[in-house]
Amino acid sequence: MKVLVPIKRVIDANVKVRVKADQSGVELNNVKMAMNPFCEIAVEEAVRMKEAGIASEVIVVSAGAANAQETLRTGLAMGADRGVLVQSDGVLEPLAVAKLLKAVVEKEGAELVILGKQAIDGDNNQTGQMLAALLGWSQGTFVSKIEVADDSITVVREVDGGLESVKLSRPSVVTVDLRLNEPRYASLPNIMKAKRKPIDTMTPDDLGVDVTPRVQVLKVTEPPARAAGVIVGSVAELVDKLKNEAKVIK
């Protein structure tokens, strides 16, 4: 079984995000970038499948600017076999990414797509579901456990009411949650090996996909600063403030 893992290059989770002065977006210049944390979990799960003999090949895919190759090399160092970069310098919306991934899936003949449930920059949580709809494949979202059988995949989903077990027919699209696994750190020998692993580069035009944005961002602003808390001396004072100042009770 060939497994395809889409990954995204985002601002490192430990870096404070700053809004550009013209409020057109967030500042990316001279900012540390890294693989999206949910994508790391997806790569780890795919590599474990290969180590267990379930997957025959693991392919990491990224869509974006040329520097996304750095993120692909990270995936290769974790154990993926090869990478695919769909190079585009413009803004790629979830639907456009899903269409690009559909084209890559069909080109590669993958039977399973594992990706993060969302990226920590846009937090859209859309690409996996859109990809499954475009392919006409079964899908499992917010997955914290995966078991692969000959013709099906059983997943445990994290839902509002607890956990839900779903049996999916193959081929499938699976979006993963935080509790699925603990991603490994790439060793130095594997980092060196990753430099020699192949990365195929193509463009949206090569795949016949129109990635023209359909959403216009008017303005990006920082959230308002939270007001300082107040220590009250009694329950009566607390009730008075909630009633007359915060106006959250009557």
Percentages helix, strand, coil for the chain, rounded to the nearest 5? 30, 25, 40
Q: Tell me: pLDDT of 68 over 90.
A: yes
The whole-angstrom separation of Cα 128 and Cα 42 is 12
CATH number for the region 2-223 comes to 3.40.50.620
Q: Tell me: pLDDT of 228 over 90.
A: no
Predicted local distance difference test score (pLDDT) of residue 223? 86
Q: Residues 40-44: what's their mean pLDDT?
A: 97
Q: Tell me: pLDDT of 235 over 90.
A: yes
Q: Tell me: pLDDT of 116 over 90.
A: yes
Cis status, amide bond into 37, omega within 30 of 0: no
Predicted local distance difference test score (pLDDT) of residue 109? 94
The whole-angstrom separation of Cα 232 and Cα 241 is 9
pLDDT digits (tens, 9 = 90+) for 166-219: 999 999 999 999 999 999 999 999 999 999 999 999 999 999 999 999 988 899
The whole-angstrom separation of Cα 210 and Cα 212 is 6
Q: Write out the two tokens for 35.
A: 């693989």
The whole-angstrom separation of Cα 144 and Cα 8 is 20
Residue-range domain boundaries for the chain = 2-223
Predicted local distance difference test score (pLDDT) of residue 181? 95
pTM of the shown model: 0.86
pLDDT digits (tens, 9 = 90+) for 138-166: 999 999 999 998 889 999 999 988 999 99
pLDDT digits (tens, 9 = 90+) for 23-34: 888 888 889 999
Predicted local distance difference test score (pLDDT) of residue 237? 92
